[in-house]
Chain A
């Protein structure tokens, strides 16, 4: 008989959103406070791992139809191309810049190109973690 895991599944449905929001908060927070792409990425993947635990791999694959191996390449490309972007401005490789912008809802925010690099890190971390877990999990 299959055990009834309704409590775990219901709790997960709530918790996953809290973890995801916190991981995004961590990701954006990295410039001035503890946080950043690495820990944000690990947390996002921990939310997905919780989904995998509460449901099963096939269900999670249906919810998130992503090839994580492609995502690794995309993350790497974002990080490298951010660094390559400095070529256009005649400054050394990996140079970063920042500026203050007024956005519709958020008001004045500081936007830095380091965030784009971090986005690459974030995607690679999420994708690598989930590739490892999914590959081991599928192996029967």
Chain B
């Protein structure tokens, strides 16, 4: 086996798995077995790739043997591979949760195929080094997500999927438009080549700033940035918890990652304008998200608005353009992917056992489900960033980065919104798990058999990320260095 092609594995494994599962739609046991095996292999390959890049530097794969900038190149730098690995690691517990919760009817209707096609799109979007190829992987991911959001066809899913598809079709058209402008101005689509051409300019070129803002709108729509997040709360609360978990953990993060990549590698032409704008929008996103999280009485809606708050935190880190800001943003991104998946699964289980998603109608659930209650508590503490857990180091570095850049208002906004995030989530804990029991006898509750341990896996992972921050930090630091010094990336891809 030649090592030259190993970088395609994070895309190829889920693609082949999804395709093979298309052949056996009715054989549920076979589908489950194949998808578990593929998930484990994927994690192993991704971890191997991370270690390989840690030792040997950025790995690239020139598809079809065409040298960049003429062919499509896949670039496995540390940031991309850390996110691909996080994707594969969190998708396995969500898959296990699906076995128990998704239902036979959905499973027979190509659920696992589209699950793996979604992961194909997400992994591809992380790894690609070509901006139009990024668009294609966005579409792979989005089309799989259109199907998953409407899968099962309940009334609320049909309504919300319509909005979701409409918004994403428009943002995809804008994406193509933005790429067309960029191609007309620079004459290339390869990210490293774009970076080189734009970086070699001595003065600011206004049209590039316009294109940068256009990409901000496109990725802001995908990643739910203020004021483009309006579609998210409804559509993420519609599908079943397993699907919502994979959406909340992955989909917006791909938009954020794309902003991260383009705003650190390509659009460094007029940072005074673009990154200030990004900082302001990130600040308002935190506030808008947290207002929604406090205002709602529906547990799913509270959680969905917390997805938006996290978008604000990460993009704040991108906007400061310094070492600790980038480190913090990457740390927080990884932490948030894991903890959001865990929280969606836990809240899904909570709604399942309580039989309602209205906070006012539930109460006293910890009496019958103590494990669920305390796992939720740990997850909330981790989300907010209580020291030994995973949210802490990311936020600390973000605050440090913000302070170094002199963005004290944004730092203050972030700390206040963190407090309000804690309030919004602990409200679920106090009212839902403690509070007055609304259902007295245990037989009024549904059984949560098999639903708890996938979330336990994710929480264990989150705790590990928190405790093992010292081990993870060198990797994150390499990722941030590559972003701060685009020469490293350009040299690895164009090999000058």
Contact = CB atoms under 8 A, between A and B. Distances in A.
Interface stretch (A20-28, A50-58, A93-101, A104-112): A93-101
Interface stretch (A10-18, A38-46, A71-79): A71-79
A94 B73 CA distance: 11
B23 interface: yes
A107 B23 CA distance: 38
B404 interface: no
Given A84-B12, A95-B65, A90 B4 contact: yes
5 smallest beta-carbon distances between A and B, as pairs: A73-B22, A90-B2, A94-B64, A93-B8, A76-B19
A86 B5 contact: yes
Interface string B21-56: 011010000000000000000000000000000000
Interface of A: 69-70, 72-73, 76-77, 80, 84, 86-87, 90-96
A92 B19 contact: no
Contact of B1 (A72, A87, A93): A87
Nearest to A79: B19
Nearest to A69: B22
Interface in B200-244: none
Interface of B: 1-2, 4-5, 8, 12, 15-16, 19-20, 22-23, 25, 61-65
A93 B23 contact: no
A90 B1 CA distance: 8
A95 B64 contact: yes
Contacts of A87: 1-2, 5
Contacts of B16: 77, 80
A86 B4 CA distance: 11
Given A80-B16, A87-B1, A87-B5, A94 B63 contact: yes
Contacts of A76: 19, 22
Contacts, number: 45
A91 B4 CA distance: 7
Given A90-B2, A90-B4, A93-B8, A73 B64 contact: no
Given A92-B64, A94-B63, A80 B15 contact: yes
Contacts of A86: 5
B190 to A, nearest CB: 16
Contacts of B63: 92-94
Nearest to B19: A76
B320 to A, nearest CB: 37
Contacts of B65: 91-92, 95
Contact of B19 (A77, A93, A95): A77
B23 A73 contact: yes
B197 to A, nearest CB: 25
Given A87-B1, A93-B12, 17 more contacts: A69-B25, A70-B22, A72-B22, A73-B19, A73-B20, A73-B22, A73-B23, A76-B19, A77-B19, A80-B12, A86-B5, A87-B2, A92-B5, A92-B64, A93-B8, A93-B64, A94-B63
